[in-house]
Each structure stands twice: as C-alpha cells, then as structure tokens.
Amino acid sequence: MDCKSDKILFHVDTVKMIKSILEEIKILSQDKPVMDKLEEINCILENNNIIYNENASKDEEEKLLDLIYNKMKSTKDKDLNVKLYMLYRKLEDEKISNEEARRLYEVYIKTEYNDRYI
C-alpha cells in the first residue's frame, strides 16, 4: 500500500493523557519559559484539531454503525453480509476504532462486486 499523508492518528485516550501530563507539568513548574512552552504546545494541539469533542466521536460512531447496518441489510451478497456483520459487532463492542472500521467498510464495499465466483 502506497499511502502518503502528513497526518497521524492518535487514540482519544492518548491525547487526553498527553494533555493531562502537560497540565501537571504546568502546575509543578515555576519556570516562566517552561510554562510558556507548555502553553504553546497546548495551543498547537488545539489548533490542529487534535483535541476534539468526545460527543462528536460518539455521534460519528453511531452514524458509522447505522451505515454499516443499513448496507448489511440491503446487500444480497452473503459473504459481504457476514463481513459487515462482523465489522458491526466489533465496532459496537468497541474492539476496533472508528477509523479502522471506516477503512474496513470502504475496503469491503469496493471489493463487493469484485469477489465473484468464476
């Protein structure tokens, strides 16, 4: 796979942990330049949309679940139906992330008409 991107995916919990550590250091530090740098890092995180609303993530997950469910119910291909069902269950049980589920969904849909028996 030849993908070129300037973006990195982080789990929400990882970003929250980074933010809390930055706040801890800010509280413990008495040095003004250090506090300024911590504030600068915090601004960079917020300006690049790394910190985002947790409710938006839940809404996105519900929309993705609905999308997968509707496609699963509408397809006539039994193999695709099974793949989508497994994907639906994994996402519902939070065993995979939204990004991974969306990527798998797109792969399954693209190969829907290519996986025919000869």
Q: What pLDDT was estimated at residue 114?
A: 61
DSSP state of 51: S
d(CA 104, CA 30): 48
**pLDDT for the residue 1:** 43
Determine the pLDDT at residue 5.
58
Determine the pLDDT at residue 51: 47
Sequential pLDDT tens for the chain (118 residues): 445 556 677 777 787 788 888 888 887 888 888 888 888 888 777 766 554 555 555 667 778 899 999 999 998 889 999 999 999 999 999 899 888 998 999 888 887 666 555 5
Res 95: pLDDT: 92
Residue 46's closest CA among 72, 2, 79, 15? 15
Residue 68: CB atoms within 10 A of its CB come to 24
What is residue 39's predicted lDDT score, i.e. its pLDDT? 85
Whole-angstrom CA distances from 4 to 1, 8, 45 are 10, 11, 22
